[in-house]
């Protein structure tokens, strides 16, 4: 048995449930990630919907199964749409996932990250540098690529999870997930994933798909990370990042409960 007993719903069972009733996932994500994130959701078994403008994001968030917000290519109009969508999701009791891409890239972006965090995301997902900086730690990173190890971000993740009462996932070579009390590491994937843009953004939307499916967002986060890790294991060995991406998305589609059950999820 490679998976911790901390989980109520294991990744294999989560995959089966998600595909049995494909969740409609409302994604507000950046221009870079739009296409690959939608393809990741469709390959995995979910149904993506990308719409962002405040004229409709509140209404739609209330009927979707979950909302995911990634603010990579941010502008003021999009912030208004994010606020409306969060109101819609929260009012309807839907979970929402926040991905604060490179929030330290500018003072303006940092302020918006803090404001969105204060709106109580169900799940917060970032790379080590993003999570560390959000918890007030120093980071050497200035752009979307991480400059810190996941291990170095574990304390930051625990403190953020406790302070915000949310799930925090730090993704990288070995992923770390915590709700402040429980904590696990998810093992798998491949270093080539850091050479493909919007992989983290896509993982955020897949986390939304599982959050729409399972009652416990901790289990949902682990299931999404296990699904990604299983696909990354299949694609490992590709000669370059573009062929890796093709194999990876195909492997999200061909993933089985058995392949997710084989991903080590260890207590941390």
Residues that bind a copy of itself (CB under 8 A): 24, 30-36, 38-39, 42-43, 47-53, 55-56, 59-60, 63-64, 72-77, 102, 105-109, 142-145, 194-198, 238-243, 245-254
How many Cβ atoms sit within 10 Å of the Cβ of residue 93?
7
- At 50, give phi and psi (nearest 5°): -105, 110
Closest CB to a copy of itself among residues 19, 119? 19
Min dist. Cβ of residue 235 to a copy of itself (A): 10
For the chain, what percentages of helix, strand and coil (3-state, to nearest 5) are there? 50, 15, 35
Closest CB to a copy of itself among residues 63, 163? 63
Closest CB to a copy of itself among residues 53, 266? 53
Min dist. Cβ of residue 73 to a copy of itself (A): 5
Closest CB to a copy of itself among residues 172, 218? 172
Min dist. Cβ of residue 228 to a copy of itself (A): 15
Min dist. Cβ of residue 204 to a copy of itself (A): 16
Min dist. Cβ of residue 181 to a copy of itself (A): 35
> What distance in Å separates the CA atoms of residue 160 and residue 136, rounded to the nearest whole number?
10
Closest CB to a copy of itself among residues 186, 252? 252
How many Cβ atoms sit within 10 Å of the Cβ of residue 250?
14
> What distance in Å separates the CA atoms of residue 130 and residue 126, rounded to the nearest whole number?
6
- At 174, give phi and psi (nearest 5°): -125, 130
Please name the helix (run of DSSP H) or strand (run of DSSP E) that holds residue 50, with its range, or none. strand 47-50
Chain center to CA of 102? 15
């Amino acid at each position: 048995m490679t998976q911790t007993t901390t989980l109520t719903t294991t990744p294999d069972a989560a995959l089966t449930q998600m595909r049995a009733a494909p969740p409609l996932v409302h994604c507000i994500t950046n221009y870079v990630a739009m296409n690959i994130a939608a393809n990741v959701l469709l390959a995995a078994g979910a149904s993506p919907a990308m719409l962002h403008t405040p004229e409709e994001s509140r209404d739609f968030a209330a009927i979707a199964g979950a909302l995911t917000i990634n603010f990579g290519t941010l502008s003021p109009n999009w912030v208004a749409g994010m606020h409306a969508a969060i109101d819609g999701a929260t009012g309807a009791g839907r979970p929402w996932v926040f991905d604060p891409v490179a929030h330290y890239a500018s003072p303006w972006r940092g302020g918006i990250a803090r404001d969105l965090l204060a709106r109580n995301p169900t799940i917060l997902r970032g790379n080590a540098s993003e999570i560390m900086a959000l918890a007030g730690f120093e980071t050497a990173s200035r752009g979307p690529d991480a400059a810190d190890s996941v291990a170095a971000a574990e304390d930051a993740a625990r403190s953020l999870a406790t302070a915000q009462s949310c799930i925090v996932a730090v993704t990288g070579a070995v992923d770390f997930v915590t709700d402040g009390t429980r904590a696990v590491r998810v093992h798998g994937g491949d270093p080539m994933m850091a050479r493909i843009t919007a992989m983290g953004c896509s993982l955020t939307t897949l986390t939304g798909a599982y959050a729409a499916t399972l009652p416990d967002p901790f289990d949902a986060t682990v299931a999404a990370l296990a699904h990604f890790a299983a696909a990354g294991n299949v694609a490992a060995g590709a000669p370059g990042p573009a062929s890796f991406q093709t194999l990876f998305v195909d492997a999200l589609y061909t993933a089985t409960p058995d392949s997710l059950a084989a991903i080590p999820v260890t207590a941390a």
